[in-house]
Amino acid sequence: MSKELAYPRRKKQDWSSYLYILPMLAIVIFFWIIPILISVVLSFTQYNALSTPHFNGVENYKALFEDRIFRQSLINTLIFVITVVPGQTILAFLTASWIDRKGKNPATQFVRWAMFIPSLASVSIVGIVCRILLNNPSSPLNTLFSLFGLNPSLLLGSEKAAFPTLIVIEILIGSGYYMVIYLAALLDIPHSYYEAAKIDGASQFQIFWKITFPLMRPMTLLVILLGSISAFQSFDLVYTMTGGGPGRSTTMTAMVYLYLYSFKYSKIGFAMAIGNVLILVIAVLTIVQRRLAGRKENILY
């Protein structure tokens, strides 16, 4: 028996397929991995973007957690997340379910576009427009509020009302995007499930609770994850409408605080420490979501 028959040749590894992922891999490396590594290194230094970085150990992190305004900004960010994310998710889910049930008609088309168009616009522009509408005495919103004896300019100037106002506006802006995600998922549910439930005499609420809601659970986990990441990174709306005020930290979020220390105070090392804390929190949320999404959720498929 020849050696070629006894020991068949191994096929040569074809590396050409890796060329297809090379562009995306380069983007991930140069715009994600390397910046994160640089951020971690700079967070252990005293650096102001003009002088040479000087290593100072964990002093930035110690100062960070001893800083009252940072602690308040972190609390504000957590409050923002736990109020905005459920609000966006519930509003988007209920609206998508209503549109899917009613089908195409002028009312559903109007609601769909009215909710989705704000999510297409720049959040900074939406924030500026909302600020003008609330602060301008001659705005239509001011006229509407005056009918009920209210002054909308006090919403952004009051320490008690400013943060809830931002939360409501953020919910209204973001829910349109998640509504479209839910609508796409609702179209994948076989109509035979609904027909069988109706034949069995199920009510609309029972169909929604026993069929639609369970089948939307994986999509809901995705919406919660995306909404949480977006809420943790919220900057444009807060900065354009209040700048973190009124006062020093009424609506201050972690991203606004990071921006101030990066570009206003030029304390880059301290700002990198803030960013790393946020990255860690978002990473933990992602891991939890992946664990939950990995479970067997749908028993109907």
Residue 114 belongs to domain with CATH number: 1.10.3720.10
Q: What is the pLDDT of residue 11?
A: 63
216 Cβ contact list (under 8 Å, min separation 6)? 93, 182, 185, 186
Q: What is the pLDDT of residue 156?
A: 81
Strand partners, 54: 46
Please check whether residue 236 lies inside any domain of the structure: yes
Please check whether residue 41 lies inside any domain of the structure: no
pTM for this model (two decimals): 0.83
The whole-number average pLDDT for the span 44-73 is 88
Q: What Rg do the C-alpha atoms of the chain give, in angstroms?
A: 25
Please check whether residue 179 lies inside any domain of the structure: yes
Q: What is the pLDDT of residue 88?
A: 94
Owner of token pair 């420490």? 273
Percent pLDDT > 90 in the chain is 23
Please check whether residue 5 lies inside any domain of the structure: no
Q: What is the pLDDT of residue 301?
A: 41
The whole-number average pLDDT for the span 242-254 is 79
Q: What domain range is 227 assigned to?
A: 78-123+163-252
Q: What is the pLDDT of residue 177?
A: 92
Identify which of 255, 259, 272, 267 has the alpha carbon closest to the alpha carbon of residue 37.
272
Residue 249 has pLDDT above 70, yes or no: no
Q: What is the pLDDT of residue 49?
A: 79
d(CA 126, CA 64): 32
Residue 5 has pLDDT above 60, yes or no: no
Residue 108 has pLDDT above 80, yes or no: yes
Please check whether residue 51 lies inside any domain of the structure: no
Please check whether residue 146 lies inside any domain of the structure: no
Please check whether residue 140 lies inside any domain of the structure: no
Q: What is the DSSP track for 112-174? A: HHHHHHHHHS-HHHHHHHHHHHHH-TTSHHHHHHHTTT--THHHHH-TTTHHHHHHHHHHHHH
Please check whether residue 112 lies inside any domain of the structure: yes
Q: Mean pLDDT, the chain, as a whole number?
A: 84
What is the H or E stretch that residue 62 is in? helix 59-66
Percent pLDDT > 70 in the chain is 92
Q: What is the pLDDT of residue 169?
A: 92
Lowest mean pLDDT among 27-31, 75-79, 137-141, 211-215: 137-141
How many structural domains does the chain have?
1
Residue 170 has pLDDT above 90, yes or no: yes
Q: What is the pLDDT of residue 44?
A: 93
